[in-house]
Amino acid sequence: MPGKIQDIPPLLHDARLSDCQWDQHLRALQLSFRCLRRNVDGTSMEDSTVDLRLCGVERVVAFYSPASVTVKPSEFKPGSRIVLADLVDWPHRAVEAHLATNSPQAEFEEATACLREALVGDLGDRPGEPPLRVHVSFEPHNYGPQGTVTGLSIDCDSLDPFTNGVLLDIETWERQFEAWWAGWRNHWSEKQGDGGEQEPAQEDTFIPAGQPDPPEFSYRPPAASPFLLSPTTVPAELLKPIEDYHTGHHEQNWLKVAAAYPFFDQGSDERAARLRDQFLSHNYGRWVYVRYIDGWWCEGDRACVVVRGIEHVKGDEESPTGNEETVITYGLRKFRQTWVIATWSQGWPRFGSAYKLQEAQSWRSDWNLTE
């Protein structure tokens, strides 16, 4: 088939898994996605569903983790579980799902999940690698303490896309995908020039993002140490990726940042380049100085460290340069023998997205913090 299997995941951007059918006798699993597709000529498509047929399935594993990085594995209970009967007759509503093929990043997420259950086959190691390992991850309903991240890992021999029972050429699918986005661009171009009210279209779901002005790179943040803590009980190996992440950002040592915060489907150079582009474009103008540990825990190959400090903001024509107290929660995972940042979230006490410390902190006094 023209096109390659690794070209399929990008074509499922914003797709929703609407159905799943498991045939035990044929050892085949069909995943049905509602996709962003138009006919190649730009006209609307009556049925945009693409069925992915996975044949020669040897194993299906469901795995679960907390949506919130603050939840310990020992405290975690999945809100719901996928069972084999669900694969035969899918009972769930259409949900956004992400597909990956032979993905080291997905393998890492499965390996560090809190719970793994075999639906087909078993959890034991198998001799040799499967020809194809497909991961499907589902968007959680919420990211609070009760939220669950759910995924499926499928070992199989082949994966082929179909539409209306006919094999779908991947290059044709790519043209249909691009036709949808061309229609989306035309829709918004016409919408900006039309002040009248209209019925919402599918394209209205995907709102264009504004483009920021190019940053001014001559600005330099305060020369204070980006990572300075009093003696703490947090193990040094848990603090190292956090320290490397922040010092690497200040030094613009993007390989150091990439090693602390990897994405395993990308090599170190590609990951470093992407993080550099991110920090030097829409994220430019913010620097964090870590000064305090709010709390931490470590269980197995998962850990969480909550740090507090100062975020220095460059400012612009609309807001002045200033300093804010900030709190960052890091979800850490163990990769082989090294701890790395898997995810993080940030809050600000002044805006109510993080709590305020009751006791006075000496490190706050030199920063002229906005209260």
How would you class 192 by CB atoms within 10 Å of its CB: exposed for 0-12, middle for 13-18, buried for 19 or more? exposed
From the list 322, 288, 323, 278, the residue with the least C-alpha distance to 308 is 288
Q: Do residues 182 and 42 lie in contact, with contact meaning Cβ atoms separated by under 8 Å?
A: yes
- Distance CA(51)–CA(20), nearest Å, equals 9
Residue 120 has what DSSP assignment?
E
233 Rama sector, left if φ>0, alpha if ψ -120 to 50, beta otherwise:
alpha
Q: Which of 64, 132, 125, 127 is nearest to 103 (CA)?
A: 132
∠ at Cα 275 (270, 279), nearest 5°?
150
pLDDT at 39: 94
| Residues 310 and 323 sit within 8 Å (Cβ to Cβ) | yes
What pLDDT is stored for residue 128 in this prediction?
Answer: 72
Q: What gap in Å lies between CA 81 and CA 137, rounded to an integer?
A: 13
Dihedral pair phi/psi, residue 33, rounded to 5°: -115, 135
* pLDDT at residue number 4: 87
Please give the structure tokens belonging to residue 136.
Answer: 């499907």
Percent of all residues in the chain with a pLDDT value above 90, rounded to a whole number: 73
pTM, entire model: 0.87
Main-chain phi, psi angles of 3, to 5 degrees? 90, 165
Q: What angle do CA 157, 161, 163 make, to 5 degrees?
A: 145
Q: What is the pLDDT along the chain (371 residues), one digit of tens a residue?
A: 445 889 999 999 999 999 999 999 999 999 999 999 999 999 999 999 999 999 999 999 999 999 999 999 999 999 889 999 999 989 988 889 999 999 999 999 999 999 999 999 998 766 677 889 999 999 887 778 888 999 999 999 999 999 999 999 999 999 999 999 998 888 777 766 555 555 556 655 655 555 555 566 778 899 999 999 999 999 999 999 999 999 999 999 999 999 999 999 999 999 999 999 999 887 889 999 999 999 999 999 999 999 999 999 987 777 788 999 999 999 999 999 999 999 999 999 999 999 999 888 999 988 988 77
What pLDDT is attached to residue 210?
A: 53
In this prediction, residue 198 carries a pLDDT of 55
What percent of the chain is predicted at pLDDT more than 70? Answer: 91
